[in-house]
Chains A and B, each alone.
Chain A
Amino acid sequence: DTAVSQTPKYLVTQMGNDKSIKCEQNLGHDTMYWYKQDSKKFLKIMFSYNNKELIINETVPNRFSPKSPDKAHLNLHINSLELGDSAVYFCASSPRQGYNTEAFFGQGTRLTVV
């Protein structure tokens, strides 16, 4: 069983469309994240949720809206897609609060906006 799974793996869409990426983790973790990896492979945090509550909301356009229906799911909805949104988006989870923890990543969703 995949620990952190994202769907879809690839997403090609036109500018202006609205799209969603789904993420589920079966690890029983309380904290989930969305990261964006740009063309230079830099991973930047977008959002962090702990037990369905938003903890971190970095400087991200409000076209991006995360939704956590329960602590095992964290979906990402993107409105009015722009060319600059093209990137690989990673969902991740971590098991506990505090410093001695680690992140478990999904396989990523490669979003291409044309």
Chain B
Amino acid sequence: TQLLEQSPQFLSIQEGENLTVYCNSSSVFSSLQWYRQEPGEGPVLLVTVVTGGEVKKLKRLTFQFGDARKDSSLHITAAQPGDTGLYLCAGVKPNTGNQFYFGTGTSLTVIP
């Protein structure tokens, strides 16, 4: 069992549809990040959330940190083929310095 579980694991949708990816844990995190990874590349940071209940928007992407800081969600509105990739959440646990615990990943394919 991984510390951060993401769902769904795989998602294939048509261009223009909306989707939500979930990142859940039984542990509390000081902060949580979302990354996107494209084939042959390393993960690239999308956003960091640090306050329970915090909502951040990045164009068509909306990120939310759970009130208890144990979970997060990523919502994409009107998905585009350019959104295709592997989405990873990562949490920093209290008192662990900079150790990032990564989620199990969600592979998104947006079909034109």
Binding site for B on A (CB under 8 A): 4, 31, 33, 35, 40-45, 48, 50, 55-56, 90, 92, 94, 96-108
Contact = CB atoms under 8 A, between A and B. Distances in A.
A87 to B, nearest CB: 14
B16 to A, nearest CB: 26
B102 A108 contact: no
A105 B30 contact: no
Given A4-B42, A41-B105, A100 B97 contact: no
Nearest to A43: B102
B52 interface: no
Given A92-B42, A99-B92, A100-B31, A41 B86 contact: yes
B40 interface: yes
A94 to B, nearest CB: 5
A4 B42 CA distance: 10
A55 B97 contact: yes
**Taking each of A50, A99, A108, which has the highest tally of chain B beta carbons within 10 Å of its own beta carbon?**
A99
Interface string B32-48: 01010100111111001
B42 A106 contact: yes
B1 interface: no
Nearest to A91: B42
